Structure 1
C-alpha cells in the first residue's frame, strides 16, 4: 500500500512542483483514502482521487488599482474552482501577501472535503489575491475590491461559484465586492456569502467557524464523558475565528488563557472573560491594533513576543490562526502539559509531524476540514435563505449549525473508529468527505 501511495504522490508532485502546501494537503488525504479506495471495488481503478486533485479550473488575473497617493498598483487575483460534482463551487477569498497558487489549491482541495462533510450541496473552491489590506484606507480597499470583482464576476454566480470571506476579507470587503458585482451584472443574487444582515446576510455567519470548532470539540469530549466546562483553553489567533471560539468557550464555562497574532501571544492566567474579549474585538476589528496592547490594558497578563501559545498549560488547544502554525515540538509540549483535545479552527494549522504526535499520544484531535466546517456550513444556510428570500432567527441558525457539526462528528466516528476503539478523526473526515464526492463523480461519468 505504501508503494501505491508513493506512486500516486510521485505523479501529483510531477504536476505540481514548487507547491508545498498543496502537496502536504494531498499527502494527508492520500494516506487514508487510497487504502480505503483499494478496499472498495466500486472506487478501485477509477482514478477518482487523481481527478479530485486536479482543479476543474484555475483562473489568474491582473488587478490594477489606484492607491491614496494616486499611484497605480498591480496585484494578482486568483480563483481555483476545484470540484463541482455535488454543487456550485463554494469557498472563501483570501487577501494576504502570502497568497499564491499552492496555498489556494491546498485550501480549495480541503474545501471539497469540508463542504462534502456538511452534507449541503456545495462543491469546493478558493480564491484571493496577494493584496494586503493592512495599513490601507477604506477608499484604497474599496478601489481594490471593485477592480478585483470587475474581473472575477465573469467566473462566478449563484449556481456556478459562490465565494465568501477568509483571511483579510471581512464584511467590509464583502460589501465592496458585492457592490461591484451588483453593478456590472445588474442583478441582486446570493453570489457572495458573509453579507451584511440588511442585504442578504445570515445571523451567526460571523460566529460560525469559531462556534463550530468548539461544538466539534464538545462532541469529541463527550465520547470521553468530558465537557468544555472547567477546562483551560489555549487559542491561537485573534481574528474572527479565534474571537468567536473564545466567546463560545466562555459561554460553555471554559477558561480561555491565550490569544495571539503574528507579533506574539498574550497569556492571561486569570482568564479572558467576556469583558476582556469585548476589548479584544474592539482592538482587532475597529482599531486594528496588535494583541500586545492587551497587556497594557490588563497588566496582570503577559505578552510573549515572537512566540506561539502552545507552551501555555491547557486542557484544550484551538489553533485558529493559519496553516502550519503548530509543529511537532509544540505538540510534544501540549501533550506534556496535559492537553487532552485539539480542535483545529484554521485550515491545516498542524504540521504532519504534529498530527503524528497527537495520534501517538491518543489524544482527541480534529482536523480543520471537520472541525472548522461550521463557517462554510452557515454560508450554505445563507445561500438557502437567499434562494428562499427568507431569514431564519439567530437561534434557528445556531441550532442548524450545532446539528451539522454533530452530524460531521458522527460521520468521522463511522469511518474513523479503529478496532481498539481509538477514533482517528483525520481518517474519518477524509473518507467521509471522499465518499459523497466520489459517488457523485462516478454517477456523472468522466467529465
Structure 2
C-alpha cells in the first residue's frame, strides 16, 4: 500500500480453551465464544463491527456467516478465509489492511476449527494436491514413508539442518521440552503437563527425529481479535488496552522453493525469511529489539529452522541459541510462552489469532506466572504450506490522547482472561450482540 496509512490497533481479543478433537462441540459455538469474548474485551457491540474476516480450513463455505449471525444479522461483509496453517493470521492481515487503508474503522478477525482425531490427511483425492511438487522433490531427496506428509516435510527440514550446521535431534527435543514447560501456566492449552527431555525423546516415534511430543496435536478451538483505527480507539476510550500492529507482512513462495532443492526451503523457510525482513524494515527495528515471540511450532523441527529465518540468530546457529538458554525465560527471547502449538494444540484456522491473543495479553502485562518482563516489541510467526507466511510485530499503543475514563477489561469480565479460561456466559454474550439487528432465527429459537 502506498501513501500515508492509518495506524491499526488490536483493541479486543478472546479465545476458547483448545480441546481434544474427539469432543462434540461444534464450530458455531466455538466461534461465538471467541468472537463474544473479543467484543467484550473491547467493550463494544457487534453493531460496531464493519467487516468480518473468518478463517477455517475444514468445512463448507459460509461457516463465517453461520457463526456470526448469532451475534446479529447486521448485513456487514463477512469474508471466509482459507490459507492453510496461516489462515488465522491471514484473516488478521486482511482486517489490518482494511483499517490501515482507511476503508473502515473497526473489523473482526475470527478463526475456528472443528477437527478430526489423528494425523492430517488429504481431503480430496480426485484433484491436484497444491504441494505435489514439494512432495515429489522430497521423495527424490529422501524417499517417502508412511508417516503424515507434514511430519515428513518438517522432519526432513530438521534433518537437513542438523546435517548442514551440526545441530542434533536433542535440540529439537529441547524445543519440545521448553514448550511443554511453558504450557503449564497457560489455562487454554490442551496439554499442560511438564515433560522431561527423556519423556519427550522416548515418546512414540513419528518420523525421523520427531517423536509424538514434538508434534502438535489436532484440536477444536477458536480465537478472535478486534482491529480498529486510532479514531475508533480514542472515541471509545480504549487507549490503555490498545496494542498497535506496528508492521505485518504476508509472503508466498519464491522460486527458491524448488530451485535450491533444499528440504529446509520446502518447509517454507524462504517465505518466513522474506516476511520477517519486510516486517522488520517496516517497523524500523531489528530482531534484537524483540523480547517475546509466538512461533509456528507445528513440529519442533520447524521451530529450529525458523529461528534462522526470523533472524533471531545467525544462519546455522539455531542450536547454539537453544543451548544458550536464549529462547526461554531469563534469556534473550521468550519463544512460545503460551506453550506453542506443540502443547496448546493446532485448531488450524484459530492458531494465528490465538498467537495474537497471547501477545496482546503479554503486552498488556496480564499473564502473571508466564509473563515476559519488560516487553517493548512482540513478534508473531504463522506459516501455511502451499504457501503463506505471516510475520506480525506488535507494541503497546503510544502517542494517543489520554482516555476520558480509564477502563480495565478484567473488571468487565470479573476475572483475568489471560490466566483463567472460562466460557462466555449468556449475560455477557447478550451484552455484545447487535442491538439493532438481533436474530432469534440465527440463535435457533424459532
TM-score between the two structures when normalised by the length of structure 2 = 0.29
If asked which structure has higher relative contact order (CA below 8 Å, sep 6+), I would say 2
Q: Which structure shows the bigger proportion of residues in helix conformation?
A: 1
